[in-house]
Structure 1
Amino acid sequence: MNFYVNSLEETTKIGSLLGKLVQPGDVICLTGDLGTGKTHITKGIAKGLGISEHITSPTFTIVNEYDSGRLKFYHFDVYRVSDPDEIYAIGFDEYIFSDGVSVIEWANYIEEILPKEFLHIYIEKDLSKGENYRKITITPYGERYNYIKELKI
């Protein structure tokens, strides 16, 4: 599925609509260049889960945990992870195989340790169409993510 947005608000809205659909144990992998909107999608997912806390990227802590929404929410940023053992050391498997929702920014950095089933969101800029223009491609890997067909913008 492809979505086209032209503002940060529209990017966040896609995340929010997705956050209303996610289910326990879902793993959402975000990829795209620096500044494409991965954290804005993540903030939207948190909002859709009913989390009102301020969402920040856990660049130096690797994971932030939130439990004030309808499901526990784990926000990973693996941009600075240089070895998969680093992420295993924080209990990565316990997070992604739990009944919470895990969002992983820069998931392409840890492809070899991702579960077989996940929802992939790729965000790319098209500056020829404007500063905030983005193409957001959402691809489900696994039948559990068939609900993505219900995502309407």
Structure 2
Amino acid sequence: MTSYLSHSVAETEAFAARLAAHLRPGDVVAYRGGMGAGKTAFTRGLAAGLGVRGEISSPTFAIVNEYRGPVNLYHFDMYRVLDIDDVETTGFFDYLERGDSILAVEWSENVEAILPPETITVTIEPEGEDCRRITVENLQIDKRRES
């Protein structure tokens, strides 16, 4: 588990960009955090770290935004997902089966039961007025270096 205290949106994006260097195609990154916690800012940094160019926005109404780069990034918003039938309509399982991209999942609490066991969890919590505590779990950096 890694924990980081961010003092700004720019620091959140920079931390996410550094994390992206440790991701591999097929990884799922599940976000936890309330409304306005910084999940979309984190995704902007993740995208930058993956070499994705262009505007990154919240997929609240689209359910999924697709970003092309050296490694594609698919950014899901599961806020309105209520059951497994809703997940099916997002195409999530199709993206998951590809294994050639990174999946970032906002409101992952709503789909926790269907996430792969090796899912990397990023929790973003307010800590003071302008700070966020970012905690990353299940990122096996040492194992990845060996393979």
Superposed CA deviations along residues 96-143 of structure 1, whole A, max 9, x for unmatched, are 23211000011011111111111000010022xxx2211111001xxx
- 2:18 pairs with 1:20: no
- Equivalences for residues 71-86 of structure 1 within 5 A: 71-86=71-86
**1:21 aligns to what SS in structure 2?**
coil
- Equivalences for residues 86-101 of structure 1 within 5 A: 86-98=86-98, 99-101=100-102
Give the TM-score, by structure 2 length: 0.90
Distance 1:114 1:95, change over 3 A: same
| Structure 2 letter corresponding to 1:133 | C
- Equivalences for residues 114-133 of structure 1 within 5 A: 114-127=115-128, 131-133=129-131
Given candidates 127, 133, 136, the residue that maps to 2:134 is 136
**2:62 aligns to what SS in structure 1?**
coil
Superposed CA deviations along residues 37-95 of structure 1, whole A, max 9, x for unmatched, are 1111111000001111101111111101112x111110001112122211212321121
Give the TM-score, by structure 1 length: 0.87
Q: Which runs of 4+ in 1 moved over 3 A?
A: none
| Structure 2 letter corresponding to 1:147 | I
Q: CA–CA distance in 2 between the matches of 1:34 and 1:105?
A: 10
Conserved in 1, the CA contact under 8 Å of 2:52 and 2:67? yes
Q: What's the counterpart of residue 41 of structure 2?
A: 40
- Structure 1 unaligned residues grouped into runs of 5+: none
| Structure 2 letter corresponding to 1:137 | T
- Structure 2 unaligned residues grouped into runs of 5+: none
What percentage of aligned pairs have identical amino acids? 40
Distance 1:148 1:5, change over 3 A: farther
CA deviation after TM superposition for structure 1 residue 148, in Å: 7.5
Q: CA–CA distance in 2 between the matches of 1:148 and 1:11?
A: 23
**1:97 aligns to what SS in structure 2?**
helix
